[in-house]
């Protein structure tokens, strides 16, 4: 009897232990944060937390977007900004309407032919320093969106951000490394004083208080956009420009206006995907890529299989081809966007794809690559009422032009580098000679930024996402969308799929680590020239699922985070 009791006890413990082991196992190592109310996902946890503070005050998604956008200028200064520009999608749940907001930086209006030739012939001057900066649009875009669609007073929204600037942030490993890699910061005395101490980048864990940004935010809280574009901040910007031979004038600032329009869209496997219209060229790549892939059955492919990677790359290559040829500011160039994202064009491209053989770029149209900065940032927000903001904005390069306007803490962009300066030269046929993106005063340069919102077959919000990464942006977003829709992956799994990039006209296929050797071998047998890449992009996403509101902050860049509103 004692022996039987002993055996029973062992079996009980063993079965109980097994049950416990099974209980703590999960289907995937990538876990979404799940809530049932408001959520903010951004590239910095502290900024996400501030967004939730605004929602808890009774603010809506647009109010929270204002706070997060300004907060990222403190916590993520290499990309979060007041001196750059970007694109935003806003979904208003009560109206069931989505609005696109273009606050892309624009070229100053009074540049002469001499100025154009100077920029064309001086690559470093259009990348670094005062001549590199286009007219900033971030403040105008965010504040006008708030004026039209926000709930709370601006002063109330900005108070937590002002406090954050005054109290300071601790330097992260990521910020320390970013400062050390941005050589242009050393070239500007104000930036050097802020981001360097004793001739070395700010050290990790150091507390850095930003009284300069606190002053700027106070002025904006008090006087709104007028402070930045015609008041106290404008005066400092114009003075610095005059002292350093920059191009931006008081008139440029005073005349800047964001543009509000309808998104562009396509259908994809019973879903509707909304993206920002030109000059957001990345949206065209993304939507055209989806249209091409839709012509193929992917349900028997794996997301990391050679067959799907090959199809993905072929679709991307063709999307980037059209971006290179036809994309620009619609106020200056008649962009054929409806034709680019049409099902007919996608079908035509799909017919030319061989599922076992790579398409060489010269058989499409040989062009070379136009250089784009990858240091952009994206954040996604949803509130308890179902209003949504999908926002991507940038300084261009990491820390933009490297210029900080004295006394303000405002880093300026280097978007003057993003025009096609080789337009008109007959021997040049690449993106730098694009008619759509040729340089013109007052024009907004083409961009690959592409915030998106995806709706399901019932016209309900399904997915909100976007990414930094320059030319890598469309591929990063496309990977998440196809992961969720084609392969029914959870948001974490879709976000952490190893990424792929195929531009045009380059033959190399960029792959993140994570693909098997067999996949590499098969892709090479198709004719791909594989190049192992560092991480691509940093998607910040929200998915509405049967579990509730799921958020996932991409693990590719440190310090990103999801914040949820408690029920």
CA distances from 69 to 254, 288, 310, 392 (A): 21, 29, 37, 10
295 in any annotated domain: no
For residue 374, what pLDDT band results from cuts at 50, 70 and 90? low
Q: Is the pLDDT of residue 5 over 80?
A: no
Buried b (16+ CB within 10 A) or exposed e, 281-311: bbbbbbbbbbbbbbebebeebebbbbbbbbb
Total structural domains in the chain? Answer: 1
What is the average pLDDT across 464-476? 95
441 in any annotated domain: no
Q: Which one-letter DSSP state was computed for residue 535? A: -
What is the average pLDDT across 216-237? 98
178 in any annotated domain: yes
What is the average pLDDT across 72-100? 97
Q: Which of 138, 376, 404, 408 is catalytic?
A: 376
The pLDDT of residue 367: 37
For residue 505, what pLDDT band results from cuts at 50, 70 and 90? confident
For residue 30, what pLDDT band results from cuts at 50, 70 and 90? very high
The pLDDT of residue 326: 82
Q: Is the pLDDT of residue 4 over 80?
A: no
The pLDDT of residue 394: 97
Residues in the chain: 567
Phi, psi of 361 (to 5 degrees): -60, -35
Mean pLDDT, all residues of the chain: 92
52 in any annotated domain: yes
133 in any annotated domain: yes
User: Beta strands of 258-375 (E only): which ranges?
Assistant: 259-261, 264-268, 271-275
What is the average pLDDT across 443-461? 96
pLDDT by residue (tens digit) across 311-337?
999 999 999 988 887 889 999 999 999
Contact (Cβ atoms closer than 8 angstroms) between residue 300 and residue 274:
no
What is the average pLDDT across 462-482? 96
User: Could you give the maximum distance between any two Cα atoms of the chain, in Å?
Assistant: 102
What is the span of the domain harbouring residue 62? 34-260+378-423
Q: How many CB atoms lie within 10 A of CB 207?
A: 10
CA distances from 418 to 208, 343, 414 (A): 32, 29, 8
What is the average pLDDT across 206-221? 98
What is the average pLDDT across 442-459? 96
Tell me which of 160-174, 259-273, 424-438 is least confident: 424-438
Tokens matching residue 269: 């496997």
What is the average pLDDT across 190-219? 97
Does 98 participate in catalysis according to the annotation?
A: no
For residue 430, what pLDDT band results from cuts at 50, 70 and 90? low
Global confidence as pTM = 0.93
The pLDDT of residue 3: 45
40 in any annotated domain: yes
Q: Is the pLDDT of residue 184 over 90?
A: yes
What is the average pLDDT across 419-439? 77
Tell me which of 42-51, 95-104, 107-116, 447-456 is least confident: 107-116
Distance in angstroms (rounded) separating the CA atoms of residues 338 and 78 = 34
62 in any annotated domain: yes
The pLDDT of residue 109: 95
The pLDDT of residue 360: 82
Contact (Cβ atoms closer than 8 angstroms) between residue 262 and residue 283:
no
Neighbouring residues of 242: CB distance < 8 A, sequence distance ≥ 6: none
Q: Is the pLDDT of residue 372 over 70?
A: no
Distance in angstroms (rounded) separating the CA atoms of residues 51 and 45 = 10
pLDDT by residue (tens digit) across 267-316?
999 999 999 999 999 999 999 999 999 999 999 999 999 999 999 999 99
The pLDDT of residue 28: 85
């Amino acid at each position: 009897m004692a022996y039987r009791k002993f055996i029973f006890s062992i079996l009980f413990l063993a079965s109980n232990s097994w049950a416990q082991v099974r209980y703590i196992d999960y289907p995937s190592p990538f876990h979404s944060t799940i809530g049932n109310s408001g959520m903010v996902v951004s590239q910095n946890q502290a900024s996400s937390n501030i967004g939730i503070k605004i929602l808890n005050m009774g603010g809506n998604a647009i109010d929270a977007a204002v706070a997060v956008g300004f907060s990222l200028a403190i916590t993520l200064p290499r990309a979060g900004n007041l001196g750059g520009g970007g694109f935003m999608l806003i979904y208003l749940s009560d109206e069931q309407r989505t609005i696109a907001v273009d606050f892309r930086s624009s070229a100053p209006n009074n540049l002469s032919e001499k100025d154009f030739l100077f920029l064309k012939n001086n690559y470093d001057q259009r990348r670094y320093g005062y001549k590199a900066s286009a007219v900033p649009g971030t403040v105008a875009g965010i504040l006008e969106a708030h004026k039209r669609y926000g709930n709370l007073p601006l002063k109330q929204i900005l108070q937590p951000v002002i406090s954050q600037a005054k109290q300071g942030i601790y330097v992260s490993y990521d910020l320390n490394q970013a400062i050390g890699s941005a050589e242009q910061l050393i070239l500007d005395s104000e930036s050097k004083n802020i981001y360097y101490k004793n001739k070395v980048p700010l050290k990790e864990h150091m507390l850095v208080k930003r009284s300069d940004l606190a002053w700027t935010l106070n002025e904006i809280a008090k006087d709104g956009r007028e402070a930045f574009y015609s008041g106290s901040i404008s005066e400092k910007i114009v003075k610095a420009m005059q002292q350093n031979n920059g191009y931006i004038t008081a008139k440029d600032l005073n005349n800047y206006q964001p543009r509000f329009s309808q998104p562009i869209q396509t259908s994809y496997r019973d879903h509707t995907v909304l993206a920002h219209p030109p000059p957001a060229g990345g949206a065209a790549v993304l939507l055209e890529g989806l249209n091409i892939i839709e012509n193929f059955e992917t349900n028997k492919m794996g997301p990391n299989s050679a067959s799907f990677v090959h199809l993905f790359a072929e679709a991307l290559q063709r999307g980037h081809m059209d971006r290179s040829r036809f994309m620009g500011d619609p106020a200056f160039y008649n962009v054929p966007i409806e034709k680019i994202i049409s099902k007919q064009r996608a079908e035509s491209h799909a017919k030319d794809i061989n599922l076992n053989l790579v398409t060489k770029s010269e058989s499409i149209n040989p062009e070379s690559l136009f250089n784009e900065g990858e240091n952009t940032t994206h954040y996604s927000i949803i509130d308890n009422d179902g209003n949504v903001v999908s926002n991507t904005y940038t300084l261009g390069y990491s820390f933009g032009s490297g210029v900080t306007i004295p006394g303000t803490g405002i880093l300026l962009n280097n978007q003057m580098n993003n025009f096609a300066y080789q337009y008109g030269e007959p021997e040049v046929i690449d993106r730098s000679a694009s008619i759509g993106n040729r340089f013109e005063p007052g024009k907004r340069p083409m961009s690959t930024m592409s915030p998106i919102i995806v709706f399901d077959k019932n016209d309900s919000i399904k997915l909100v996402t976007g990414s930094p990464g320059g030319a890598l942006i469309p591929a990063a977003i496309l990977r998440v969308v196809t992961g969720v829709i084609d392969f029914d992956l959870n948001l974490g799994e879709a976000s952490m799929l190893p990424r792929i990039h195929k531009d045009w006209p380059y033959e190399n296929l960029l792959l993140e680590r994570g693909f098997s050797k067999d996949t590499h071998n098969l892709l090479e047998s198709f004719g791909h020239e594989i190049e192992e890449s560092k991480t691509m992009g940093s998607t910040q996403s929200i998915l509405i699922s049967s579990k509730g509101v799921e958020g996932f902050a991409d693990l590719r860049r440190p310090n990103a985070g999801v914040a949820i509103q408690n029920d």
